[in-house]
Amino acid sequence: MQTIARVSHVLKALSEGTSGGMRLSDVAGHIGLGKTTALRLLKALTEVGYVEYDESTKLYRLGYCLFNLGTSARRFHIIELARPGLTRLAAATGDTVFLSLRDGQQAQCVHRQTGSYPIRTLTLSVGDRRPLGVGAGSLALLAFESDAEIDRILTASRDARRSYSSFEDAHLRAMIAETRAQGYSFNDGRIVSAMNAVGVPVLDQAGRVACALSIAAIRERMERPRLQELVAQLQAEARAIGQALDSRNAAAAQREPLTVSEER
């Protein structure tokens, strides 16, 4: 049990690091173990393909084997269902479209589709994470949670947001209120000054946030009335994905075997 716990801490540390990877000393410090123990765990994970080691940079990062396991998990059928919609949005708008999922106090980019416009805003790569609320897609994930859950998340993520100067509690609460009022999130250059982004939540039948769609573009391409056109397109695809999720979940529920009590 101790070894499993340590392995999970190593994988969690790498998942929360940058997409480029982490040094041995950083991994060891993150999980609170010595370098020798951390190295032994990393070598074992590398042998089975869950971790990759770059000899040139001396950095460790998550391996594709682990990603394949993750995408086979039930939760990640969202990517399959959302991919056609992201492709349509990128083709229709010419801009970059992102799909984000919540993971604890973070938002993770799990899919990205680039459009044909020559100036591309590639501010997020697949696998990148940000604290919930930081960025348009991330804010769309956060804003439609309950008030109690938002309070808990803001408290838990305060340290992680310190490096984002425009996302202190007061600013973020104001953005949450605005997002709820207008039905979409808007990042007006708070991360990259020349880039704006707009995001919407994908809701299931019960009104729970399943994921978020967002579009990023240079500031000039996010002015009204085009902004409202982008919002309408995002919301249409979000509704379609939400309906597809509900249909898939309903079909899966019908396939589940009866319990002993139900059989009786």
Query: What is the average pLDDT across 170-174?
Result: 96
Q: 157 or 2, which is more confident?
A: 157
3-class state of residue 51 by DSSP: strand
Helix (H, G, I), strand (E, B) or coil at 241: helix
Can you tell me which residue has the tokens 């769609």?
213
CB 37 within 8 A of CB 29: no
Instruction: Name all domains of the chain by residue range, CATH numbers in brackets.
Output: 2-68 (1.10.10.10), 73-252 (3.30.450.40)
Amino acid symbol at 160: A
d(CA 247, CA 60): 40
Q: Would you state the pLDDT for residue 259? A: 42
Mean pLDDT of the chain: 89
Which distant-in-sequence residues (6+ apart) come within 8 Å of 141 by Cβ? 100, 101, 102, 107, 132, 201, 209, 211, 212
Neighbour count for residue 238 (Cβ, 10 Å)? 23
pLDDT in the model for residue 260? 41
Residue 123, pLDDT score: 82
Per-residue pLDDT tens for 114-158? Answer: 999 988 887 888 888 899 999 999 999 999 999 999 999 999 999
In this prediction the pTM is 0.71
Residue 69: the pLDDT is 65
